[in-house]
Structure 1
Amino acid sequence: MSEWLERLDRKAELRAKAGLTRRLRHRSPGEGVVDLAGNDYLGLATHPDVVAAAQAALTAYGLGATGSRLVRGSTDAHAALEERLAGWLGAETALVYSSGYLANLGAVRALTRPRTLLVSDAHNHASLIDGCRISGAEVVVTPHADVAAVEAALAAAPGRPAVVVTESIFSVDGDLAPLADLHAAARRHGALLLVDDAHALGVTGPAGAGGVAAAGLAGEPDVVVTATLSKSLGAAGGFVAGPAPLARHLVDTGRTFIFDTAPPPAVAAGALAALEVARASDGRRAELTDRADTLVRRLRAAGLEVSTPAGAVVSVTAPGPETAVAWAADCRDRGVAVGCFRPPSTPDSRARLRLTVNVGVPRADFDRALDVIVECAP
Structure 2
Amino acid sequence: MNRPDLLDGLAHATAERRQQGLYRQLAAVQRAAPGRAVIDGRQYLLFASNDYLGLAHHPLLIRRLRDAAEQGVGAGAAHLVSGHHREHARLEAMLAEWTGRERALLFSSGIMANLGVMQALLDRPGTRQASLCVQDKLNHASLIDGARASGATLRRYPHGDVAAAARQLESAPEAPALLATDGVFSMDGDLAPLPELAALCERQGATLMVDDAHGLGVLGPEGGGSLAAAGLSQAQAPVLMGTLGKALGTAGAFVAGSAALIDGLVQFARSFIYTTALPPALASATCTAIELVRQESWRREHLAALIARFRHGAAQLDLPLMDSPTPIQPLRLGSSHAVLEASQMLRDTGFLVGAIRPPTVPAGQARLRITLSAAHQPDDVDRLLDALARIPHPSDTCAN
| Band of TM-score, shorter chain | over 0.9
Q: Which deviates the most, 78-87 or 292-301?
A: 292-301
Cα distance, 1:243–1:48 mapped onto 2, change above 3 Å: same
Partners of 2:371 and 2:362 lie apart in 1 by 19
Partner of 2:35 in structure 1? none
Partners in 1 of 2:237 and 2:53 — Cα distance? 30
Alignment counterpart, residue 354 of structure 1, candidates 369, 376, 400:
369
Contiguous gaps of at least 5 residues in structure 1? none
Say yes or no: does 1:255 pair with 2:257: no
Deviations 1:9-55 (A, max 9, x none): 32222111110011001111152311110100000011122111111
| 1:3 to partner: Cα distance | 4.4
SS in 2 for 1:94: strand
1:294 corresponds, among 309, 317, 342, to: 309
C-alpha distance in 2, partners of 1:250/1:311? 31
| Count of equivalent residues | 376
Which residue among 26, 44, 49 is the counterpart of 1:38?
Answer: 49
Query: Secondary structure at the residue paired with 2:303?
Result: helix
Give 3-state SS (helix, strand or coil) of 2:106's partner. Answer: strand
Q: What's the offset of the Cα at 1:4?
A: 3.9
Q: Aligned match of 2:91 in 81, 85, 90? A: 81
Aligned: 1:105 with 2:107 = no
TM-score, length of structure 1 as denominator length: 0.96
Matched, 1:345 2:355: no
Partner residue in 2 for 1:7: 9
Between stretches 274-283 and 362-371, larger displacement belongs to: 362-371
Cα 1:348/1:19, change in 2 over 3 Å: closer
Which deviations, in whole Å up to 9, do the C-alpha atoms of 1:63-114 show, x marking residues without a partner? 2111111122211111111000000000000101110110011112222134
Cα distance in 2 between the residues matched to 1:288 and 1:350: 26
TM-score w.r.t. length of structure 2: 0.91
213-222 vs 138-147, which moves further: 213-222
Q: Which whole-Å CA distance do the structure 2 matches of 1:204 and 1:325 have between them? A: 31
The secondary structure found in structure 1 opposite 2:63 is helix
Q: Identity over aligned residues, as a percent?
A: 41
How far apart in 2 are the matches of 1:288 and 1:244?
35
Q: Is contact 2:105–2:254 with CA below 8 Å preserved after alignment? A: yes
- What letter corresponds to residue 285 of structure 1 in structure 2? R
Aligned positions of 1:154-173 closer than 5 A: 154-173=169-188
Pair 1:149 & 2:151 matched:
no
Structure 1 segment 240-251 matched on structure 2, within 5 A: 240-251=255-266
Describe how 1:160-309 pairs up with structure 2 within 5 A. 160-220=175-235, 223-309=238-324
Distance 1:305 1:193, change over 3 A: same
Q: In the aligned structure 2, how far is the partner of 1:327 from the partner of 1:219? A: 43
Instruction: Give the counterpart letter for 1:248 in structure 2.
Output: D
The aligned amino acid for 1:226 is M
Residue 123 of structure 1 contacts residue 347 of structure 1 at CA under 8 Å; is this kept in 2? Answer: no
**Structure 1 residue 159: deviation in Å?**
2.4
Displacement of 1:141 in angstroms is 0.5
**Residue equivalent to 2:75:** 65
SS at match of 2:375: coil
